[in-house]
Amino acid sequence: MEKNSTTTKGTGDATYIFQSSNNTMMHTFFGGLVLIIFVSTWISSLMSPVITFYAIKSRNKVLLLTIISITTAAYAPWKKSTITRICNSFVDTYHRCYYIRSSMKFQGRVPHPEETPTLYAVHPHGIFTVGWSLLFHSKTMAHVRFCFAPGLFLSPFFLLFSRLMGKPGKADKSSMISFMKKGESLALPPGGFEEATITCSLQDRVYIKKRKGFVKLCLMHGYSIVPVYCFGEKDTFWNVQGFWKFRHALNGMNIPAILFWGSKLMPLLPKRCELHVVAGEPISLPRIESPTRDQVEQFHAKYIEVLVKLYEENKIDAYGEVDGKDCNLEIW
Protein backbone atom coordinates (compact mmCIF):
# COMPACT_ATOMS: atom_id res chain seq x y z
CA MET A 1 0.00 0.00 0.00
CA GLU A 2 1.26 3.47 -0.80
CA LYS A 3 1.94 5.56 2.26
CA ASN A 4 -0.51 8.31 3.11
CA SER A 5 0.99 11.69 2.40
CA THR A 6 0.28 15.32 1.73
CA THR A 7 2.20 16.42 -1.33
CA THR A 8 1.94 19.80 -3.05
CA LYS A 9 2.73 19.41 -6.73
CA GLY A 10 3.27 23.09 -7.42
CA THR A 11 1.59 26.47 -7.67
CA GLY A 12 -1.96 26.14 -8.91
CA ASP A 13 -1.84 22.31 -8.84
CA ALA A 14 -3.74 19.96 -6.55
CA THR A 15 -2.64 18.99 -3.07
CA TYR A 16 -3.08 15.27 -2.43
CA ILE A 17 -4.08 14.30 1.10
CA PHE A 18 -3.63 10.63 0.29
CA GLN A 19 -3.32 8.22 -2.62
CA SER A 20 -3.77 4.50 -1.93
CA SER A 21 -3.36 1.43 -4.13
CA ASN A 22 -1.74 -2.01 -4.13
CA ASN A 23 -3.34 -2.82 -0.79
CA THR A 24 -2.56 -6.13 0.90
CA MET A 25 -5.28 -8.66 1.71
CA MET A 26 -5.07 -7.66 5.38
CA HIS A 27 -5.57 -3.97 4.56
CA THR A 28 -8.53 -4.83 2.34
CA PHE A 29 -10.06 -7.01 5.07
CA PHE A 30 -9.81 -4.29 7.71
CA GLY A 31 -11.16 -1.76 5.23
CA GLY A 32 -14.17 -3.99 4.60
CA LEU A 33 -14.65 -4.40 8.35
CA VAL A 34 -14.73 -0.63 8.80
CA LEU A 35 -17.34 -0.29 6.05
CA ILE A 36 -19.53 -3.08 7.46
CA ILE A 37 -19.52 -1.30 10.83
CA PHE A 38 -20.35 2.02 9.16
CA VAL A 39 -23.21 0.66 7.05
CA SER A 40 -24.59 -1.47 9.91
CA THR A 41 -24.61 1.57 12.19
CA TRP A 42 -26.41 3.63 9.54
CA ILE A 43 -29.08 0.95 9.08
CA SER A 44 -29.45 0.35 12.83
CA SER A 45 -30.11 4.07 13.23
CA LEU A 46 -33.23 3.67 11.08
CA MET A 47 -34.20 0.49 12.93
CA SER A 48 -33.44 1.74 16.46
CA PRO A 49 -37.14 2.30 17.44
CA VAL A 50 -37.95 -1.28 16.37
CA ILE A 51 -34.91 -2.66 18.22
CA THR A 52 -35.85 -0.76 21.38
CA PHE A 53 -39.49 -1.89 21.17
CA TYR A 54 -38.37 -5.52 20.76
CA ALA A 55 -36.00 -5.28 23.74
CA ILE A 56 -38.77 -3.93 25.99
CA LYS A 57 -41.45 -6.35 24.78
CA SER A 58 -39.21 -9.41 25.03
CA ARG A 59 -37.68 -8.22 28.32
CA ASN A 60 -34.24 -8.94 26.94
CA LYS A 61 -32.08 -7.58 29.77
CA VAL A 62 -28.80 -7.84 27.87
CA LEU A 63 -30.17 -5.95 24.88
CA LEU A 64 -31.84 -3.35 27.11
CA LEU A 65 -28.61 -2.81 29.07
CA THR A 66 -26.69 -2.43 25.79
CA ILE A 67 -29.18 0.16 24.48
CA ILE A 68 -29.05 2.11 27.78
CA SER A 69 -25.24 2.09 27.77
CA ILE A 70 -25.02 3.24 24.14
CA THR A 71 -27.65 5.94 24.71
CA THR A 72 -25.82 7.26 27.78
CA ALA A 73 -22.50 7.35 25.94
CA ALA A 74 -24.10 8.98 22.88
CA TYR A 75 -25.77 11.88 24.69
CA ALA A 76 -23.42 12.43 27.65
CA PRO A 77 -20.91 15.31 27.33
CA TRP A 78 -17.36 14.07 26.82
CA LYS A 79 -14.19 15.10 25.06
CA LYS A 80 -12.17 13.01 22.67
CA SER A 81 -9.65 10.78 24.46
CA THR A 82 -6.86 8.41 23.54
CA ILE A 83 -9.39 5.66 22.85
CA THR A 84 -11.44 7.81 20.45
CA ARG A 85 -8.27 8.95 18.67
CA ILE A 86 -7.18 5.31 18.24
CA CYS A 87 -10.61 4.39 16.81
CA ASN A 88 -10.55 7.35 14.44
CA SER A 89 -6.98 6.61 13.33
CA PHE A 90 -7.87 2.96 12.63
CA VAL A 91 -10.86 3.94 10.49
CA ASP A 92 -8.95 6.71 8.69
CA THR A 93 -6.08 4.33 7.90
CA TYR A 94 -8.02 1.32 6.69
CA HIS A 95 -11.26 2.62 5.15
CA ARG A 96 -9.47 3.86 2.03
CA CYS A 97 -7.67 0.50 1.69
CA TYR A 98 -10.85 -1.37 0.82
CA TYR A 99 -11.01 0.19 -2.65
CA ILE A 100 -8.92 -0.86 -5.64
CA ARG A 101 -7.54 2.67 -5.73
CA SER A 102 -8.52 5.77 -3.76
CA SER A 103 -7.42 9.34 -3.32
CA MET A 104 -8.39 12.68 -1.84
CA LYS A 105 -7.17 15.96 -3.24
CA PHE A 106 -7.83 19.67 -2.94
CA GLN A 107 -7.54 21.90 -5.98
CA GLY A 108 -7.77 24.99 -3.77
CA ARG A 109 -6.34 25.57 -0.33
CA VAL A 110 -6.16 22.70 2.13
CA PRO A 111 -8.65 23.28 4.99
CA HIS A 112 -7.33 25.08 8.05
CA PRO A 113 -9.15 25.89 11.32
CA GLU A 114 -8.34 29.59 11.01
CA GLU A 115 -9.48 29.98 7.40
CA THR A 116 -12.51 31.97 6.27
CA PRO A 117 -15.67 30.02 7.24
CA THR A 118 -16.41 27.57 4.45
CA LEU A 119 -19.20 25.19 3.50
CA TYR A 120 -18.09 22.02 1.71
CA ALA A 121 -20.94 20.87 -0.55
CA VAL A 122 -20.36 17.17 -1.18
CA HIS A 123 -21.77 15.22 -4.16
CA PRO A 124 -23.10 12.70 -4.87
CA HIS A 125 -24.83 11.42 -1.76
CA GLY A 126 -24.76 7.84 -3.06
CA ILE A 127 -26.45 5.01 -1.19
CA PHE A 128 -24.29 5.17 1.96
CA THR A 129 -22.13 8.29 1.41
CA VAL A 130 -18.84 6.36 1.44
CA GLY A 131 -16.99 9.22 -0.28
CA TRP A 132 -18.41 11.67 2.27
CA SER A 133 -17.20 9.39 5.08
CA LEU A 134 -13.61 9.52 3.75
CA LEU A 135 -13.77 13.26 4.40
CA PHE A 136 -15.63 12.91 7.70
CA HIS A 137 -12.99 10.90 9.52
CA SER A 138 -10.01 12.55 7.81
CA LYS A 139 -7.63 14.42 10.13
CA THR A 140 -7.46 17.15 7.49
CA MET A 141 -11.17 17.86 8.04
CA ALA A 142 -11.19 17.35 11.81
CA HIS A 143 -12.22 20.97 12.50
CA VAL A 144 -15.13 20.85 10.02
CA ARG A 145 -18.62 20.08 11.34
CA PHE A 146 -20.33 17.51 9.10
CA CYS A 147 -24.08 18.03 8.93
CA PHE A 148 -26.30 14.95 8.63
CA ALA A 149 -30.05 14.43 8.18
CA PRO A 150 -31.71 15.29 11.53
CA GLY A 151 -33.53 11.95 11.60
CA LEU A 152 -30.25 10.08 12.00
CA PHE A 153 -29.60 11.88 15.28
CA LEU A 154 -32.68 10.30 16.82
CA SER A 155 -30.65 7.10 17.00
CA PRO A 156 -28.06 6.81 19.79
CA PHE A 157 -26.22 4.17 17.68
CA PHE A 158 -25.49 6.60 14.87
CA LEU A 159 -24.84 9.55 17.18
CA LEU A 160 -22.22 7.66 19.21
CA PHE A 161 -20.45 6.34 16.10
CA SER A 162 -20.39 9.76 14.43
CA ARG A 163 -19.07 11.46 17.58
CA LEU A 164 -16.26 8.92 17.74
CA MET A 165 -15.32 9.43 14.09
CA GLY A 166 -15.58 13.20 13.64
CA LYS A 167 -17.54 16.35 14.40
CA PRO A 168 -21.22 15.78 13.52
CA GLY A 169 -24.14 18.19 13.44
CA LYS A 170 -27.76 18.37 12.29
CA ALA A 171 -28.51 19.64 8.80
CA ASP A 172 -31.79 21.38 9.68
CA LYS A 173 -32.05 25.14 9.05
CA SER A 174 -31.97 26.28 12.68
CA SER A 175 -28.89 24.18 13.48
CA MET A 176 -27.07 25.37 10.35
CA ILE A 177 -27.77 29.02 11.27
CA SER A 178 -26.51 28.40 14.80
CA PHE A 179 -23.26 26.87 13.49
CA MET A 180 -22.78 29.70 11.00
CA LYS A 181 -23.27 32.38 13.64
CA LYS A 182 -20.33 30.80 15.46
CA GLY A 183 -18.26 30.87 12.28
CA GLU A 184 -17.79 27.10 12.07
CA SER A 185 -16.71 25.52 8.79
CA LEU A 186 -19.34 23.01 7.68
CA ALA A 187 -19.82 20.09 5.29
CA LEU A 188 -23.17 19.18 3.77
CA PRO A 189 -24.48 16.78 1.10
CA PRO A 190 -27.03 19.21 -0.47
CA GLY A 191 -28.68 16.48 -2.57
CA GLY A 192 -29.85 14.61 0.53
CA PHE A 193 -32.05 11.52 0.29
CA GLU A 194 -33.29 12.63 -3.15
CA GLU A 195 -29.76 12.34 -4.49
CA ALA A 196 -29.43 8.92 -2.86
CA THR A 197 -32.67 7.84 -4.53
CA ILE A 198 -31.50 8.73 -8.06
CA THR A 199 -28.16 6.93 -7.65
CA CYS A 200 -27.38 4.98 -10.82
CA SER A 201 -24.30 2.82 -11.40
CA LEU A 202 -24.35 3.75 -15.11
CA GLN A 203 -24.57 7.54 -14.77
CA ASP A 204 -23.19 10.30 -12.54
CA ARG A 205 -26.08 12.36 -11.16
CA VAL A 206 -26.61 15.18 -8.69
CA TYR A 207 -29.89 16.49 -7.27
CA ILE A 208 -29.28 20.23 -7.02
CA LYS A 209 -31.78 22.26 -9.10
CA LYS A 210 -34.15 22.65 -6.15
CA ARG A 211 -31.43 22.84 -3.51
CA LYS A 212 -30.90 26.57 -3.01
CA GLY A 213 -31.23 26.94 0.74
CA PHE A 214 -27.53 26.30 1.44
CA VAL A 215 -26.57 29.06 -1.02
CA LYS A 216 -28.93 31.52 0.71
CA LEU A 217 -27.47 30.68 4.15
CA CYS A 218 -23.92 31.13 2.83
CA LEU A 219 -24.84 34.55 1.43
CA MET A 220 -26.45 35.58 4.71
CA HIS A 221 -23.36 34.64 6.74
CA GLY A 222 -20.56 35.40 4.28
CA TYR A 223 -19.43 31.81 3.73
CA SER A 224 -17.35 30.51 0.83
CA ILE A 225 -18.62 27.33 -0.85
CA VAL A 226 -16.30 24.52 -1.93
CA PRO A 227 -17.84 22.00 -4.34
CA VAL A 228 -16.67 18.44 -3.67
CA TYR A 229 -17.22 15.49 -6.01
CA CYS A 230 -16.72 11.82 -5.13
CA PHE A 231 -15.84 10.00 -8.34
CA GLY A 232 -16.77 6.31 -8.10
CA GLU A 233 -19.56 6.78 -5.55
CA LYS A 234 -22.06 5.58 -8.18
CA ASP A 235 -20.08 2.33 -8.56
CA THR A 236 -20.28 1.31 -4.89
CA PHE A 237 -23.88 0.06 -4.97
CA TRP A 238 -26.46 -0.94 -7.58
CA ASN A 239 -29.82 0.80 -7.08
CA VAL A 240 -33.30 0.23 -8.53
CA GLN A 241 -34.29 2.88 -11.08
CA GLY A 242 -37.65 4.54 -11.80
CA PHE A 243 -40.84 5.38 -9.84
CA TRP A 244 -39.27 8.78 -9.12
CA LYS A 245 -42.41 10.69 -8.05
CA PHE A 246 -43.41 8.06 -5.51
CA ARG A 247 -39.86 7.67 -4.18
CA HIS A 248 -39.31 11.42 -3.91
CA ALA A 249 -42.58 11.65 -2.00
CA LEU A 250 -41.07 9.20 0.48
CA ASN A 251 -37.92 11.33 0.58
CA GLY A 252 -40.12 14.25 1.62
CA MET A 253 -41.05 12.20 4.70
CA ASN A 254 -37.34 11.65 5.49
CA ILE A 255 -37.43 8.10 4.15
CA PRO A 256 -34.44 7.08 1.97
CA ALA A 257 -36.27 5.39 -0.92
CA ILE A 258 -33.42 3.15 -2.03
CA LEU A 259 -33.33 -0.51 -3.04
CA PHE A 260 -29.70 -1.47 -3.40
CA TRP A 261 -27.14 -4.25 -3.71
CA GLY A 262 -23.39 -3.97 -3.17
CA SER A 263 -20.87 -6.79 -3.18
CA LYS A 264 -22.14 -10.04 -4.73
CA LEU A 265 -21.50 -12.08 -1.59
CA MET A 266 -22.31 -9.36 0.96
CA PRO A 267 -24.86 -6.82 -0.35
CA LEU A 268 -24.33 -4.38 2.55
CA LEU A 269 -20.67 -4.06 1.60
CA PRO A 270 -19.80 -1.68 -1.28
CA LYS A 271 -18.35 -3.12 -4.46
CA ARG A 272 -14.57 -2.82 -4.66
CA CYS A 273 -14.16 0.02 -7.11
CA GLU A 274 -12.03 3.14 -7.39
CA LEU A 275 -13.04 6.10 -5.22
CA HIS A 276 -11.53 9.54 -5.75
CA VAL A 277 -12.64 12.59 -3.75
CA VAL A 278 -11.87 15.98 -5.29
CA ALA A 279 -12.48 19.35 -3.60
CA GLY A 280 -12.55 22.34 -5.93
CA GLU A 281 -11.56 25.97 -5.56
CA PRO A 282 -13.59 27.98 -3.01
CA ILE A 283 -16.39 30.09 -4.47
CA SER A 284 -16.27 33.46 -2.71
CA LEU A 285 -19.71 34.88 -1.93
CA PRO A 286 -20.52 38.39 -0.72
CA ARG A 287 -22.20 38.78 2.63
CA ILE A 288 -25.83 39.80 2.08
CA GLU A 289 -27.98 39.76 5.22
CA SER A 290 -31.26 39.55 3.27
CA PRO A 291 -30.49 38.18 -0.21
CA THR A 292 -33.23 38.50 -2.82
CA ARG A 293 -34.54 35.54 -4.79
CA ASP A 294 -32.66 36.78 -7.86
CA GLN A 295 -29.39 36.97 -5.93
CA VAL A 296 -29.82 33.43 -4.60
CA GLU A 297 -30.63 32.23 -8.14
CA GLN A 298 -27.53 33.98 -9.49
CA PHE A 299 -25.08 32.38 -7.08
CA HIS A 300 -26.86 29.02 -7.19
CA ALA A 301 -26.39 29.00 -10.98
CA LYS A 302 -22.72 29.91 -10.48
CA TYR A 303 -22.35 27.01 -8.05
CA ILE A 304 -23.76 24.53 -10.57
CA GLU A 305 -21.44 25.92 -13.24
CA VAL A 306 -18.37 25.45 -11.01
CA LEU A 307 -19.50 21.97 -9.95
CA VAL A 308 -19.84 20.84 -13.58
CA LYS A 309 -16.43 22.35 -14.36
CA LEU A 310 -14.89 20.44 -11.43
CA TYR A 311 -16.42 17.22 -12.76
CA GLU A 312 -15.23 17.80 -16.33
CA GLU A 313 -11.68 18.70 -15.26
CA ASN A 314 -11.24 15.54 -13.17
CA LYS A 315 -13.29 12.81 -14.85
CA ILE A 316 -10.39 11.55 -17.02
CA ASP A 317 -8.04 11.25 -14.03
CA ALA A 318 -10.73 9.46 -12.05
CA TYR A 319 -12.22 7.13 -14.67
CA GLY A 320 -9.39 6.81 -17.17
CA GLU A 321 -8.96 8.06 -20.74
CA VAL A 322 -11.32 5.51 -22.31
CA ASP A 323 -14.23 5.59 -19.84
CA GLY A 324 -13.85 9.18 -18.70
CA LYS A 325 -14.18 10.95 -22.05
CA ASP A 326 -17.78 9.75 -22.56
CA CYS A 327 -18.92 10.51 -19.00
CA ASN A 328 -21.15 13.45 -18.21
CA LEU A 329 -22.87 14.81 -15.11
CA GLU A 330 -26.67 14.79 -15.06
CA ILE A 331 -28.20 17.71 -13.19
CA TRP A 332 -31.56 16.90 -11.57
DSSP string, 286-303: ---SS--HHHHHHHHHHH
**pLDDT value, residue 158:** 87
Mean pLDDT of residues grouped by 10 in the chain (332 residues)? 44 81 91 92 80 89 91 90 90 95 94 89 96 95 94 84 92 96 97 97 97 98 97 97 96 90 93 97 96 98 98 97 95 98
CA distance 178 to 217: 11
The one-character DSSP state at 210 is T
Domain boundaries, the chain: 7-321
Parallel/antiparallel/unpaired status of strands 186-188 and 145-148 = parallel
**pLDDT value, residue 12:** 53
Q: Are 152 and 204 in contact (CB under 8 A)?
A: no
- CA torsion through residues 148, 150, 153, 158, sign: negative
Please give the model's pTM, rounded to 2 decimal places: 0.93
**pLDDT value, residue 287:** 96
**pLDDT value, residue 103:** 97
**pLDDT value, residue 2:** 44
